[in-house]
Amino acid sequence: MGKSIVSKGKSVKEALDLALELLHVSRDEVDIEILETEKKGVLGLMSKPAVIRVVVKDSSVVLLSPDIVVESLEDVVENLVIEEHSNTVAFPKVAKSVRNEADLAGKVWVSDGLIFCKDAEDKYPLIAPVKNIQLYKNDVLVERTEIISELDVLRVDLQDEELAPSWELKMSPDKMEVVLVVTAGFKVITRLKDKEPSNYIHLELEEKRIPVTMDTAPVMHKLKELGVTFGVSYSDIALACSSETGGNFVIAKGLPPTQGKNGYFQPLQDTDIKKCVKERDDGTVDYREVTEFPSADYGQVLGIVIAPTAGVVGTSVTNEPVLPIEVHPVIVKPGRGVALVEDNTKVIATETGHPEVKLKGQLALISVTPKLVIVKDVTLDIGNVRYKGDVEVQGSVQDGMLVDARGNLLVRCNVNRATILAGKSILVQNNIIASSITAGKGSLLKSELAQLLDEVIRQMKNMYTAINQLSTVSAFKVGSLTVTGLGPLLRILCDGKFKSFSTLTATLVTKVNGGSDVLDNEWLSFVESLYKNFVTTRVSTLKSVEDILTFIRQAEVLYASTKISDDEKVFIKSEFVQNSELYSSGDILIAGHGVYNSKLHAKGSIVIDGFVRGGDLYAEKSVNIVEVGARGGGTDMKIAVSETGYIRVKRVLDDTTIQVGSKTQKLMFQMSNLYARLDDDGSLQIS
């Protein structure tokens, strides 16, 4: 007999074709024996294969390999190791006990998703469908418990569910990142749940949910369409496409540019005025320490000019260059008492005095303000002192005299019946008697100038817009402006849509000229040029709208200079005050015996490390005092703060009125550790 194999297939023909292919023979060269015919399962989920034996008539025919004799295709298939790559779901197998024919008689069961039954003479198997299962017996829908037999054709309609995955590519507006947004897909496979043999069973379903992954090819094609060629992560694309849960996956990243650094001025000397306040062992503050004003000597290096550092160009995901932010050098404008040396990389002092550095964006204004030192009392022999800088009086300021300093003022002894004005801080190391003291006298003026200048800037910007709009009108001759300038047009605008501009500018000019003793020359030259070009238009030198932009930029720089930072706030400091009036745009610090029958007004806080007998005190932020009032009364006084401020007093004696915001209360009895402020409802709280 020739070589033979046993072959299986869904049909006899399929089994035969497989055997002929393995034997490398034709149909005429073999004999066929059908061992089992195919049989379809009840549900169509599993079928019984056809089994045939194929015998080669010519024994010389060689099978797949001359070294291997294939006894049975079943043996070959049994020994195959197949790596599954499909989405086939393996349902859990139900352990089946060994059954004999007698045990199955009259029973029905479900095995591998198929319904089986065994007839019996004395018992009838029963089956009942449940919700969501459509069972057909001989093509008739079963709606209740039904008797079945081996001759019945049973069918269950089951529908698998599948949701295909979806995706979307999102590129950031700056083309520095591409995100693959994946919505996960899945497939739900449904089959009958296995049931042990029983006279009566309820059908049940079981489901398996398996993920459906995506092909990476469409994603790669879309990236190509978008021109994404740089920073693509193929591993992240594969991870995203095989994700079972979906999500956002960054699949391409550009190389961000390395930002550079603007040039800047690096001071080599401290230019800030320090209060040098020390804390005592008991936690209280000692205000008796002398405030120091920094100074520079001839030839001293005040700082160095650091050049800008350029950034490094980056790359977008579309392989386009991404430029870093443009860097700018610092522009050093030397003022009085300074000079630039070594190719403008160092700033040195050419005079002795107080160094000042004002930074406005990339503009550094550096100067040395010489300090005027008066080695004796300020009397009639010297006359009134007016000085655009710091002043030090090593003696006292005597009756009827005036000291007006644009910078800081130091009086090492007393101020007696005198007037003291300073653009910045005032330090009187001893007593202030029957005098008027004002620190930060330019603050109020700058506040008024800020309001005027803000409106001037707004109207100039509107003029700029209006002229640009006129330039688009065909009847408007843009070229004529080069001959006549903007003067005639500005006159028309100021007489029409901007009627208030002339009055506004005139008010600004008057305010600046009146405060020339406390304002920089930039203010004076700006308002002079503003008035000439916008109000006295017949001599206007403006030729184009770009000239208006220049004025706007100058005005914005001056407006920024009106803002007072915390580091620039001033103070008045003394040991004792009697029958005097003190005004400070910052704080007032009395560090000695206290205050008697005086008026103190501070935009910041008032701190008195001693007593207060009579007078009026007002501070916007807070008032802190050791003792207020006098035993036995007779010294009426008032302490007030703004609605956001508070008052603290360690000991309160008789006849003291306190006010927070608009809420007032007179204290008729002695108190300790008073703390007054407004609560959230605006009511005065005293504790």
Please give the pLDDT value at position 97.
Answer: 45
Characterise 108 by phi-psi region: left (phi > 0), alpha (psi -120 to 50), beta (else): beta
Q: What SS3 class is residue 41?
A: coil
pLDDT (average), residues 62-85: 37
Give CA–CA dist 559/499, Å, rounded.
23
Q: Assign 468 a pLDDT band (cuts: 50, 70, 90).
A: confident
Please give the pLDDT value at position 568.
Answer: 62
Please give the pLDDT value at position 2.
Answer: 63
240 versus 88: the higher-pLDDT residue is 240
Give CA–CA dist 282/284, Å, rounded.
6
Angle, helix 487-495 to helix 442-470, in steps of 10 degrees: 110
DSSP string, 649-675: EEEE-SSEEEEETTEEEEE-S-EEEEE
For the stretch 97-151, pLDDT in tens is 445 666 788 899 998 888 899 888 888 888 988 777 888 889 888 888 888 988 8
Give CA–CA dist 127/198, Å, rounded.
10
Q: Where are the alpha helices (DSSP H) in 51-201?
A: 73-79, 101-104
pLDDT (average), residues 44-72: 55
Please give the pLDDT value at position 437.
Answer: 95
Please give the pLDDT value at position 87.
Answer: 39
50 versus 479: the higher-pLDDT residue is 50
Instruction: Read off the tokens for 179.
Output: 């995100």
Q: What is the DSSP code (8-state) at residue 28?
A: G
Cα–Cα separations (whole angstroms), residue 164 to 237, 240, 246, 249, 674: 18, 15, 12, 19, 74
* pLDDT over threshold 90, residue 369: no
For the ranges 49-63, 454-468, 540-554, 624-638, the lowest mean pLDDT is seen at: 49-63
Of 607, 605, 589, the C-alpha closest to 641 is 605
Find out whether 637 and 612 touch, Cβ atoms under 8 Å.
yes
pTM > 0.75: yes or no? no
For the stretch 583-620, pLDDT in tens is 998 899 998 789 999 999 998 999 999 999 989 999 99
Please give the pLDDT value at position 560.
Answer: 83
Give CA–CA dist 403/426, Å, rounded.
11
Centre a 10 Å sphere on the Cβ of residue 29 and count the other Cβ atoms it contains. 16
Strands 321-322 and 314-315: antiparallel
601 versus 87: the higher-pLDDT residue is 601
Percent of the chain predicted with pLDDT > 70? 84
Find out whether 598 and 579 touch, Cβ atoms under 8 Å.
yes
Give CA–CA dist 332/348, Å, rounded.
12
Task: Tell me what the pLDDT averaged over the chain comes to.
Answer: 82
Give CA–CA dist 405/252, Å, rounded.
64
* pLDDT over threshold 70, residue 291: no
Find out whether 415 and 435 touch, Cβ atoms under 8 Å.
yes
Centre a 10 Å sphere on the Cβ of residue 98 and count the other Cβ atoms it contains. 5
| Cα pseudo-dihedral 580, 581, 584, 588, rounded to 10 | 40
The residue type at 588:
I
